Amino acid sequence: MIRLILLIFVPLLLTCPAWCGELFLLSNQVNNGEVAVMYWQGEPLSFGVVRFRDEVFYLYPDSAGAVVLLPISLDVPEGDYPLAAALVDLQGRTTVTELMLRVDYKNRPEEQLTLPERMVTPVAQDVARINREGSLLNEKYDLRSPRLWTTFQRPVDDPVNSVFGKRRVMNGKPKSPHSGTDFRSPAGTLIHSISSGRVVLVADLFYTGQTVVVDHGEGLLSIYAHLSKVLVEEGHELLVGDTLGEVGSTGRSTGAHLHLTVRLLGERVDPLALLDIFEGSLNP
């Protein structure tokens, strides 16, 4: 039904009726690998959806109206993209409008790493474990829980030493781009949740070692890797800034640091870009 509404009305740009408020992008330009934020500020909606690159995303209620976080994956080509939105008020009236989003290509650096060969080219028994763990993680990335995220903050105060999307060459072999952000934190540094959420996984994984996954709701999850100590259990409710573990060097790691990955609706996105958008506040 939602897809039908979009298909019927996308070609039209209607004048917003009296009940309507304002639909806008927090920024009309983002880089590939980042997050676009669309807000509705006005009367409550029965529901709202937006279509981006033939995918449909929901606008979720917030204190001022509704909001949707759109993942712009690393492989999205540079260009201008229409965002077709359908909004339905509490009386069932529908308005369809369109905004334009500019996606620019961000050139990211290359990193050469030397690791034990087994960590670069796993043996058969490792492959079986990696596949099991990958399936487990994908189950978590598919979660679509009610919204828990509020304000955002960095997990540690230490500087970044490896950025999201960096092209990696391990033992001379090209590998997939860096999936998160690494912080140069000493062993034992306390790690804090980037926003409010629920712990949905605590596990010792092949690649990321002692790992904590926090579900922030609406498809937003944060993953904290290579911990030396985990201080939470699955099911724990966290507020923004709550401590969840200590920095370590477990799993595929060359030294103590925190690796932070953010998944939005299954897509990897730049954690720092997400944190910078909000700068400690939910609303613009």
Digit-coded pLDDT (tens) for 140-151 = 999 999 999 989
For 82, which DSSP code?
E
DSSP-based three-state secondary structure for 235: coil
CATH entry, 110-278, from 2.60.120.620, 1.10.287.610, 2.70.70.10, 3.90.1150.10 = 2.70.70.10
**8-12, 125-129, 163-167, 276-280 — most confident range:** 125-129
The CA dihedral of 24, 29, 34, 36, to the nearest 10 degrees, is: 10
Give the separation between CA 254 and CA 29, rounded to whole angstroms: 36
Digit-coded pLDDT (tens) for 42-99 = 888 888 999 999 999 999 888 778 999 999 999 999 999 999 999 998 888 888 999 9
Domain with CATH 2.70.70.10 in the chain: 110-278
Which segments of 88-198 does DSSP mark as H helices, in order? 117-120, 124-141
Domain with CATH 2.60.40.10 in the chain: 2-104
The phi and psi torsions of 224 (rounded to 5 degrees) equal -115, 120
CATH assignment of 2-104?
A: 2.60.40.10
Phi-psi bin for 163: left (phi > 0), alpha (psi -120 to 50), beta?
beta
Task: List, in order, residues 6 or more apart from 188 with CB less than 8 Å away.
Answer: 228, 246, 247, 248
- Residues for the chain: how many in total? 284
